[in-house]
Amino acid sequence: MFFFPFKDDNPTKNKPFISYFIIFLCCIIYLFQFSLSSEDGYSIIKVFGATPYLLTNELFQYWYSVLSSMFLHGGFMHLLGNLIYLWIFGDNIEDEFGKFNFIIFYILCGIGAVIAQIILDPQSNVPMIGASGAIAGLLGSYIVLHPKAKIYVFAWIVIFVKLIKVPAFIVISIWIGLQFMNVFDQGSSGVAYSAHIGGFFTGLILTPIFKKNTTKIFTQDNNKPYISRVISNELDKDSILRHLPSNKKKKNSNKNPWDL
C-alpha cells in the first residue's frame, strides 16, 4: 500500500503568508539552480549545503550553510514533496504561533535537523540540502496540536486508487515510523532520514513553548471548535430555545407532536 497526503480539513483564521513566502522562495531558488550547468549547480550545493564535517570542525566559517541549505533542493520531486507537506501542515502551525514565532520555530527545526545528522555522521563530506528537516518539525508540531484533524490522502492499493480521510496522528505516525525504518540505509539512499527525525522531535519538543497558553495539546480537533464558535456567535440563547420543544402539555389536546 502507498499513500500520499495532499490536503487537510483544518480551517485557519488567518492567511499563512510566511508559509506562502517560503514556498515562493524555494521555487525561485530552485529555478535558479535549474538554470545552472551541472558543474555550477553542484558548486552551489557544496558552498551553501550543510556539510557535517565542515560544521563539526569549522562551524564559525560555515554556520550560514545551516540556514541556506533549507532553501536548496536536489530535484523537482524533492522540491514538490517538501512544498506539498509545507502547504498541508504549515498554515495551522503559523496560525497558532503567529508569523514571527513561526519563522523562529521553522528555523530552529531546521537547525535541529542538521544537528541530528551531524551527531549520526559527523565526518560526512556530503552536503545536506532541502527543507525536509524544518518541515518535519511542522509535522511534529501538528501531531501535538491537531492529532484528530482529518488528512485527505491518495491511497494506492495494488491497482486501486482511492481518496480517503485519515486522522493526522495516523498519517504522521506512519511517516515518522518510515524514517526510523530507513535511518540506517540513508547512506545508499541519499536521503538524510536522521535529519528528518531530528527536525520532527525538535518540533515536538518546542511546540508547548511556542503555542498559545489557552491551546490544549494532544486533544484538539480544530474542525468542531471552529464550527461551534461560528454557531455561538450567530445564535443567542433565546433564538435556540424558540426552536426547542416545550415541556408544557396543552390541556385537552392529544395531537401535540412534542408530547410523548
Per-residue pLDDT, 98: 96
Q: Domain 2-223 is classified in which CATH homologous superfamily?
A: Rhomboid-like (1.20.1540.10)
Residue 121 near residue 198 (C-beta atoms within 8 A): no
Per-residue pLDDT, 217: 81
Per-residue pLDDT, 184: 81
Q: Cα–Cα distance between 131 and 134 in angstroms, integer?
A: 6
pTM, 2 dp: 0.82
The CB density around residue 11, as the number of other CB atoms within 10 Å, is 14
Tell me the three state secondary structure of residue 161.
strand
Could you tell me which residues come within 8 angstroms of residue 233 by beta carbon, excluding any fewer than 6 positions away? none
Per-residue pLDDT, 253: 45
Per-residue pLDDT, 218: 78
pLDDT averages per 10-residue partition of the chain, 260 residues: 84 95 98 95 96 95 97 96 96 97 98 96 94 98 96 83 91 95 78 95 97 81 43 44 49 43
Any idea where the domains of the chain sit in the sequence?
Answer: 2-223
Specify burial of residue 68 (Cβ count, 10 A radius: 0-12, 13-18, 19+).
middle
Per-residue pLDDT, 4: 85
Alpha helices (H) along the chain: 17-35, 38-48, 52-57, 59-62, 64-68, 76-97, 99-120, 132-145, 168-182, 186-189, 193-210, 223-234, 237-241
